[in-house]
Amino acid sequence: MSETKEQVPSVIKAEELDPKFKYEMSKIHGAEKIMLCFQCGTCTADCPISRFSDFYRPRKIARLVQLGLKDRLLSNDALWLCTSCFTCVDHCPQGVEIAGIVRALRNMLTKDKGIMPLVYKELATNLLKSGYVYAIPDSRHKKRIEDGLPPLPKPNLADISKIFELTGSAKILENAKTFEKVKS
C-alpha cells in the first residue's frame, strides 16, 4: 500500500509543532503509551482500512501526535475511518493502543472543536429519547409479542439524561456542528 497518494504538504514548519501535545495526550485514558511508538508501521501494514483508503494511516496519526501537529490531526477527516477492529492494538510491539489514540482525538474534536459526524448526533439523540441508539418503531414492539418475545423494558430516561449532563456530553451535543460523509 503506497502512502504516495496522500495530499500532504512536504514541509513541516517548526512553528506548527506543539511540543507539549504528546504529554497532554499521554494523560488521556487509552492514549498513555503514545511516546513508545517507534514508527515500525505494523499498525498501518495490518490495518484493514488502510488497505482500502488513500488517507487513513494509523502510523502517521501516531507520528503527528508525537510531533504535536494537533491542528493537522483534528482537521483530518480520516480520523473517522477507524472501525475499532483493534488489530493495531493487538499487533503493536510497543503496546501502543492506536485505537485508543484515535478515540482520544475524536473526543477532542467533538469537545474542543464542536464537530462530529451527523450519524453520531442522531444516535445520541435517539438514545436520549428512547434508551436505544436506534428509534425502534411501534411495529417492532408489536411484532415481539407476536413472535413470543418478552416486551422490551421501560428505559430510565432520567438516568440517561443525567449521564449526558454529568459527563459534559449534553453540552457537546447541543453545540455540535455536523458533517455527513468522509472521503476514503
Partner 1 sequence: MANPKYLIFLGCVVPYRLSSYEISARKVLDKLGVELVEMPEFNCCGLPMDPINHELMLTLAARNLCLAERENLNILTLCNGCFSSLNETNKMLKEDKKLREKINGYLKEMGMEFKGTIEVKHLIYVLAEDVGFEKIKNAVKKPLTKLQVAQHSGCHVLRPAKYVGRDDPENPTTLKELIRLTGAECLDYMDETQCCGNPIIGVNEEVPFQMAKEKLAHIRAVKAQAMITICPFCHIMFDLNQSRIEKTFNEKFGIPVLHYTQLLGLAMGFQPKELGFDELRVKPTEVLSNI
Binding region for partner 1 (CB under 8 A): 29-30, 48-49, 52-53, 80-87, 89-90, 97, 99, 103-104, 106-107, 110-111, 116-120, 123-124, 127, 131-134, 136, 140, 143-144, 147-150, 152-156, 159-160, 162-164, 166-169, 172-173, 180-184
Report the SS3 class of residue 176.
coil
Task: Compute how many other C-beta atoms are within 10 angstroms of the C-beta atom of residue 155.
Answer: 13
In whole angstroms, the minimum distance from the beta carbon of 19 to partner 1 comes to 25
Q: How far is the CB of 90 from partner 1 (least distance, A)?
A: 5
CA 182/CA 184 separation, integer angstroms: 7
- Work out how close the CB of 146 gets to partner 1 at its nearest, in angstroms, rounded to a whole number: 10
Nearer to partner 1, 69 or 105 (CB): 105
Q: Closest CB to partner 1 among 13 and 154?
A: 154
Helix H segments across the chain? 21-25, 42-46, 48-52, 58-67, 70-74, 87-91, 98-112, 118-130, 138-146, 157-166, 169-175
Question: Look-up: residue for cell 498513555?
Answer: 32
Q: Give me the least distance between CB of 64 and partner 1, in Å please.
A: 18
Alpha carbons within 13 A on the beta-carbon side of 124: 19
CB of 12 to partner 1, least distance (A): 27
Nearer to partner 1, 33 or 67 (CB): 33
Is the Cβ of residue 26 or residue 107 nearer to partner 1 in the bound state?
107
Quote the CA–CA distance of 183 and 163 in Å, as a whole number. 33
Secondary structure of residue 162 in the 3-state scheme: helix
Block residue for cell numbers 430516561:
157
Shorter beta-carbon distance to partner 1: residue 72 or 111:
111
